[in-house]
């Protein structure tokens, strides 16, 4: 007759109960028993295991409280390399990722799984015959550390699963925001250093040599990848995660299966908003091709799978070292100091330069060369130094001495109304910046001529004054000898210059860079005077009576036209055949999404391009025939051409017609 081992049976019963209650509480966020009852059952199991050590299993629920101390973690060789994920930092790079996937697979539209990217420590769990065999960190991707004892302190992790085949799952161990706040409060009270962030706290806790300490840190985990999905018979990544959920693993409910890049973007925008409300830190999103059979087709690099990408949220602020301060002199003669920085990524852009505004700004913030500074984007656009990190100031920093003479023409600088100016009209820096402004989209908007080309043309003596642009066709051979300039580029530049002759009057007024006259004032002047000659022959009383034109602006306009050099420039422009009349009277558009933005249209739209262009221009937008770094947006229809590819390569934001129409309707309703 077989003797029943009642203690053995009770240990088995308690183990099953406690594992179920752990799953209910930590995975399902519900509980069928009170905390007191749970604690009572745990204490009973602990007593039985102390009495009968032979009944204690390494995967017992009592291991959740820790207690083992090790001198180091054994090394573990991963059966499959734990690759990292390549990062992208803006939406344009996501479009590029989708384009590369479609090119590799030949698909017009790809199904993706979008997931939040937990800011924690990567971990792998391996099960044999349904039991947890080993838990390991990622390490270098090939060799990690055995942290099984510490992982067992995480209650949501199942020690037994129904899958009896060898099974591996990978995920992220993390610490919630609430747990970190509580832990740091306790550490502050005891005089211990605080954890900088949840990731550091999670990594330090999981790798603590005392598992009892790990247990007290209340770590959690999400599981997001089954490396043997195909071998286990699954067709998609989402099926793997659904199966993992059915086995008792905690998988993130924020994941979503989407069709195509447009739905990916909707997810990205949604989680930009949701991010602060999540109970844990995320530093981005992960986009994965759902179809497992495509993964090998798309392939891998040495370090990353090509079928997935991590979109990293742009940091609002970064700290970097200010290596030098450089002075520039703009077209008006205003001296602008610029910080030269150790390159750092801020709000999705790699920043190596930032504005320092003026001398008072540098003195007010006590900025010195060699300082560590906090950097942000003013208005999410212009990189600006926020403050000096004084606690990191070294002995080798140098006070910056503001120059008293122009670094370009060496004339004495003057201080005027809080700003420093070079008042030499013939300063080469001022001349170059005037020439740059003339061809820019704020001036005559001549495509194909950028800042570097203008500088080269000036240094080669081909363009020294504005009218020289219209004689550039005479120097085709010299132009083609410059880097990156070929026959087609030359023809495009000449065509754009010729086209600019038909620009409207307000554009010419803008391009002349009359002090204090911007686009808004230029439109008012063009609408009132109708011709450039009438404007030149006006007086202070008439000018200052116009809306947005005060006495000071009126005086500066008349002073500009009174200078002999400027009269010569305008005469030369007339000789070259530039329009001097108000062809299409404009009303300054109200503030809206399109105002001041430069658009390029490509592909077939549901309406004619002329009609779409008119709608954009009526809202204050600008249209262009070619894509450049100065382009703000590219609007694509069906079968877009090379302009679409160029936009992707330059990182220019791309809109579909479906995306742009609601924006147009909203702006037109203002």
**Catalytic sites, residue numbers:** 117
> Number of C-alpha atoms within 13 angstroms, CB side, residue 476?
12
Give the integer Cα–Cα distance in Å for 657 and 607. Answer: 10
- Paired sense of beta strands 653-656 and 633-636, if any: parallel
SS3 content of the chain, % helix, strand, coil (to 5): 40, 20, 35
CA-wise closest residue to 172 among 113, 221, 127 = 221
Contacts of residue 536, defined as CB under 8 A and 6 or more positions apart, other chains included, come to 561, 570
The answer to whether the Cα torsion of 48, 54, 55, 59 is positive or negative is positive
HEC-encoded secondary structure of 415-444: EECCEEEECCCCCHHHHHHHHHHHHCCCCC
- Between CA 666 and CA 653 the distance in angstroms is 19
Dist CA 327 CA 362 (whole Å): 12
Coil, helix or strand for 583?
Answer: coil
User: Both tokens of residue 330?
Assistant: 């703009």
Tokens of 13: 């019963």
**Residue 341 C-alpha from the chain's centroid:** 19
Cα distance between residue 64 and residue 211, in whole Å: 9
CB burial of residue 282 (10 Å; 0-12, 13-18, 19+): buried
- How far apart (Å, rounded) are the C-alpha atoms in residues 641 and 652? 15
Please give the helix or strand (H or E) that residue 19 lies within, else none: helix 6-26
Tokens of 128: 């044999």
Selection from 316, 231, 290, 322 nearest residue 112 by Cα: 290
CA angle 244, 245, 250 (to 5 degrees): 100
Angle between the N-to-C axes of helices 198-206 and 177-189, in degrees from 0 to 180, rounded to the nearest 10:
80
Alpha-carbon gap, residue 191 to 184, rounded angstroms: 10
Rounded alpha-carbon distances, angstroms, from residue 355 to 325, 352, 358 = 10, 11, 9
Report how far residue 138's alpha carbon sits from residue 170's, in angstroms, rounded to the nearest whole number: 9
Task: Tokens 């606690």: give the residue.
Answer: 391
Token pair for 467: 């009218």
For residues 130 and 164, is the Cβ–Cβ distance under 8 A? yes
Rounded Cα distance between 94 and 88, Å, is 7
Q: What is the largest CA-CA distance in the chain?
A: 122
Task: Name the DSSP letter for residue 192.
Answer: P
**Helix (H/G/I), strand (E/B), else coil: 483:** coil
Instruction: Identify the CA nearest to 115 among candidates 70, 55, 171, 165.
Output: 171
Joined tokens for residue 42:
């745990």
Q: How far apart are CA 639 and CA 656, in angstroms?
A: 12
Classified as helix, coil or strand, 302 is coil
């Amino acid at each position: 007759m077989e003797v029943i081992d009642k203690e053995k049976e009770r240990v088995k019963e308690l183990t099953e109960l406690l594992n179920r209650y752990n799953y209910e509480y930590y995975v399902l966020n519900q509980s069928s028993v009170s905390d007191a009852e749970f604690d009572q059952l745990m204490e009973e199991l602990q007593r039985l295991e102390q009495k009968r050590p032979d009944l204690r299993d390494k995967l017992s629920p009592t291991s959740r409280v820790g207690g083992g101390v090790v001198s180091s973690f054994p090394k573990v060789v991963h059966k499959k390399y734990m690759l990292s994920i390549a990062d992208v930092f803006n939406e344009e790079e996501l479009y590029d990722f989708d384009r590369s996937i479609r090119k590799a697979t030949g698909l017009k539209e790809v199904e993706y799984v979008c997931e939040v990217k937990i800011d924690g420590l990567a971990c792998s769990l391996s099960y044999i015959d349904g039991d947890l065999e080993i838990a390991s960190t990622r390490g270098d991707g090939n060799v990690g550390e055995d942290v099984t004892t510490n992982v067992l302190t995480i209650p949501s992790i199942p020690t037994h699963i129904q899958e009896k085949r060898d099974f591996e799952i990978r995920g992220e161990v993390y610490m919630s925001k609430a747990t970190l706040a509580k832990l740091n409060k306790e550490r502050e009270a005891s005089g211990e250093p605080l954890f900088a962030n949840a990731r550091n706290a999670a990594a330090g806790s999981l790798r603590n040599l005392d598992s009892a300490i790990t247990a007290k840190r209340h770590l959690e985990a999400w599981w997001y990848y089954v490396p043997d999905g195909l071998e286990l018979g699954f067709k998609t990544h989402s099926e793997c995660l659904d199966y993992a959920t059915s086995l008792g693993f905690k998988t993130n409910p924020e994941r979503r299966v989407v069709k195509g890049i447009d739905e990916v973007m909707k997810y990205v925008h949604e989680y930009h908003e949701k991010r602060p409300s999540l109970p844990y830190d995320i530093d981005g999103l992960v986009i994965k091709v759902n179809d497992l059979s495509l993964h090998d087709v798309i392939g891998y690099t040495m370090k990353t799978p090509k079928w997935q990408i991590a979109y990293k949220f742009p940091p609002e602020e970064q700290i970097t070292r200010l290596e030098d301060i450089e002075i520039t002199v703009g077209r008006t003669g205003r001296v602008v100091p610029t910080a030269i920085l150790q390159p750092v990524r801020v709000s999705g852009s790699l920043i190596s330069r930032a504005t320092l505004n003026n001398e008072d700004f540098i003195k007010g913030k006590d900025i010195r060369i060699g300082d560590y500074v906090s950097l942000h984007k003013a208005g999410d656009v212009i990189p600006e130094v926020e403050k000096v990190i004084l606690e990191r100031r070294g002995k080798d920093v140098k006070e910056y001495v503001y120059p008293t003479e122009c670094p370009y023409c060496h004339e004495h600088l003057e201080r005027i109304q809080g700003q420093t100016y070079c008042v030499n009209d013939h300063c080469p820096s001022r001349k170059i910046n005037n020439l740059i402004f003339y061809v820019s989209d704020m001036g005559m908007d001549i495509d194909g001529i950028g800042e570097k080309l203008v500088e080269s043309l000036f240094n080669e003596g081909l363009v020294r004054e504005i009218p020289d642009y219209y004689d550039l066709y005479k120097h085709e051979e010299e132009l083609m000898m410059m880097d990156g300039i070929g026959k087609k580029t030359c023809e495009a530049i000449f065509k754009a210059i010729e086209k600019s002759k038909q620009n409207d009057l307000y554009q010419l007024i803008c391009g002349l860079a009359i002090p204090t006259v911007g686009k808004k004032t230029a439109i008012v002047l063009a609408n009132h005077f109708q011709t450039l000659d009438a404007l030149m022959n006006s007086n202070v009383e008439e000018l200052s009576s116009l809306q947005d034109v005060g006495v000071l602006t009126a005086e500066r306009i008349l002073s500009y036209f009174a200078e002999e050099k400027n009269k010569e420039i305008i005469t030369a422009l007339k000789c070259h055949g530039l329009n001097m009349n108000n062809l299409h009277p404009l009303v300054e558009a109200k503030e809206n999404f399109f105002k001041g933005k430069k658009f390029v249209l490509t592909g077939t739209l549901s309406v004619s391009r002329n009609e779409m262009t008119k709608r954009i221009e009526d809202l204050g937008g600008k249209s262009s025939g070619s894509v450049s770094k100065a382009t703000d947006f590219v609007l694509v229809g069906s079968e877009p051409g090379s302009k679409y590819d160029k936009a992707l390569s330059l990182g220019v934001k791309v809109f579909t017609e479906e995306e742009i129409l609601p924006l147009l309707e909203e702006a037109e309703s203002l």
